[in-house]
Amino acid sequence: MDSILFFILDILKVPSVLVGLIALVGLVAQKKAFPDIIKGTVKTILGFLVLGGGATVLLSSLTPLGSMFEHAFNVQGIIPNNEAIVSMALEKYGTATALIMAFGMVANIIVARFTRLKFIFLTGHHTFYMACMIGVILTVAGFEGVQLVFVGALTLGLIMAFFPAIAHFYMKKITGSNDVGFGHFGTIGYVLSGAIGQAVGKGSPSTEEMDLPKNLSFLRDSSISISLTMMIIYFVLAIASGNEYVSTHFSNGQHYLVYATIQAITFAAGVYVILQGVRLILAEIVPAFTGFSEKLVPDAKPALDCPIVFPYAPNAVLVGFLSSFMGGIIGLVLLGQLNWVLILPGVVPHFFCGATAGVFGNATGGRRGAILGAFAHGLLITFLPVFLLPVLGSLGFANTTFSDTDFGGVGIVLGNMAQFMSKDMIMIVIVAIFLLLVGYNYLAKKPVKTEE
C-alpha cells in the first residue's frame, strides 16, 4: 500500500508529468487527432522539463552565494528551505502527506467545479509541500486516520483554489489576458507587492523602460544586465569570503574571481532557459486546458508556477530579487535587535519569490512598485517563519523551516486553530467554509460577463 501511495505521490509532485496528463485529458476531450494529442502532450512535458532544467542551472549558481554570505558576515541561524524541511518531515509524516496530496487535488477540482474559485492548481511540488505542512500540523493537533485525510485534503483543496483567485487581479495586469492563473504558495507576498505598487507607483515607469545612452544600449538585453549585476554581487561576496574559502568549498582550485564570473553568467543562463520553457508551456497548456475545463470544470483556468510571469518583465525579476534580499538582510538585523530567532536570508526563496514580487509590483507601480513591493516581501518572508516555528511540533526545533509566505500564513492560522479548537470544531469550520462558497455560487447573483 505504501509503495502504491508513493508511486502516485511521485507522479503528482512532478510538474511536467502532472501537467502533461492534464494536457492529454484536455486534448482527448476536444477529440483532437492522434498526432495532435501526442504533440501537445509531449511539448507540454518538454516545456516543463526545460523550465526545470533552467531552475536547476540557476540553483547551482545560487547555492554558493548563500554560503559565502554566511561565511563573509559570520552569521548563523535558521535558513528557510521548503525542500529541506519536507525531506525531514517525510520520515514521520510521509503517508499522511501522500494521502492528503492525492485527495487534496481531487478536492481542488470539486472546489473549482462547485464554487466561484475557478482555478486548478498545477504546481505539483508546492502542492506536495503544502500537503506535508498541513499533515504535520493536523497530526500534532491529534488528527488521525480518515479524519486527518478528510480535513487535510479539503483544507488543501480550498487553499489551492483560493490563492490563485486572490492573485488573479494582478495576473491579468501582468499577462494582459484572462487565460492563465497563478499557482505558487507565495501569493500573500505577491499580492502585498502588487498592492504596494498600486499605492506608491503612480507615474513610475516600468522596469522594462530603460533610458540609456547609446554606448550603454547593450544593457537593454536582460541577459546582459542580469549577468553584469550578478557579477558585481558575486565579486563582492567572493572577495569578502576570501580566495581560500571559495577555492576549498566551491571552485575546486579555480581562481575565485574566475569562478565568480562563470557563476554569475550561469545564473543569467538559468533565467534565459526558464523564460524559453515558460513560452513553450504557455503555447501548449492554455489550448489543451480548454478541453479539460469544458468537460470537468466549466470556466476553470490553469494556475501555474511563479516563473510563468518572468517573461513579462525580465528586468523586474532582477530588481525584485535584489530588493527582496535587501529586505531579508534588514529583517535579519531587526530580529537580532529584538533578540528573536534569527531567520537568515535564503538566496533561493528570495530569488524565486522576490523576483515574482518584483513582477507583481512592477505591473501596478512600475520601478517604484517593484523595488518597494519586493522589499516588503523580503521582510515578510523573514518574519513569518518566526511565528510558524511554534506550531510545527518537534519540526519547529529543526535548523530549517518553510520559506514562502502562504506556508507561514496557512500554518499560523491552522496551528492556532489547533491550539484553541477541538478536532471536531476544526472539521466543522473547514466544511462550513466549503459549503458557504458553494451556497454563494448558486444563490448569489451571477456576475454579468463582458467582452474582453
Q: 215-224 pLDDT, tens per residue?
A: 766 667 778 8
Phi-psi region of 252 (alpha: psi -120 to 50; beta: other; left: phi over 0): left
Residue owning grid cell 476531450: 29
* pLDDT of the residue at 239: 93
- What gap in Å lies between CA 165 and CA 218, rounded to an integer? 38
Under the banding of pLDDT at 50, 70 and 90, the label for residue 408 is very high
Q: What does the DSSP 8-state code read for residue 248? A: I
Number of H helices, E strands in the chain: 14, 3
* pLDDT of the residue at 5: 66
Q: 244-293 pLDDT, tens per residue?
A: 999 889 988 888 999 999 999 998 998 899 888 888 887 877 777 777 67
Other residues' Cβ atoms within 10 Å of the Cβ of residue 202: 12
* pLDDT of the residue at 452: 44
* pLDDT of the residue at 399: 67
Do the domain assignments include residue 452? no
Q: Which of 32, 27, 107, 31 is nearest to 285 (CA)?
A: 27
* pLDDT of the residue at 334: 95
pLDDT over 50 (residue 353) = yes
pLDDT over 80 (residue 449) = no
SS3 174: helix
* pLDDT of the residue at 212: 62
Do the domain assignments include residue 185? yes
**b/e 51-78 (16+ beta carbons within 10 angstroms → b):** bbebbebbbebbebbbbbbbbbeeeeeb
* pLDDT of the residue at 12: 66
- What gap in Å lies between CA 77 and CA 343, rounded to an integer? 6
Do the domain assignments include residue 193? yes
**b/e 340-360 (16+ beta carbons within 10 angstroms → b):** eebbbbbbbbbbbbbbbbbbb
Count of domains observed in the chain: 1
pLDDT over 80 (residue 233) = yes
Q: 177-204 pLDDT, tens per residue?
A: 898 999 999 999 999 999 999 999 888 9
- What gap in Å lies between CA 85 and CA 90, rounded to an integer? 9
Q: 290-341 pLDDT, tens per residue?
A: 776 777 888 889 999 999 999 999 889 999 999 999 999 999 999 999 988 8
* Mean pLDDT along residues 91-112: 88
* pLDDT of the residue at 49: 87
Do the domain assignments include residue 449? no
| Residue 214 structural domain | 1-441
Do the domain assignments include residue 451? no
Q: 55-87 pLDDT, tens per residue?
A: 888 888 888 888 888 888 887 788 888 888 888
pLDDT over 90 (residue 13) = no
HEC sequence for 282-313: HHHHHHHHHHHHHHCCCCCEEEECHHHHHHHC
Do the domain assignments include residue 379? yes
pLDDT over 80 (residue 4) = no
Do the domain assignments include residue 78? yes
Do the domain assignments include residue 290? yes
* Mean pLDDT along residues 82-94: 83
C-alpha cell of residue 215: 554606448
Under the banding of pLDDT at 50, 70 and 90, the label for residue 429 is very high
pLDDT over 90 (residue 95) = no
Helix axes 256-295, 222-241, angle to 10 degrees: 130
Residue owning grid cell 547555492: 63
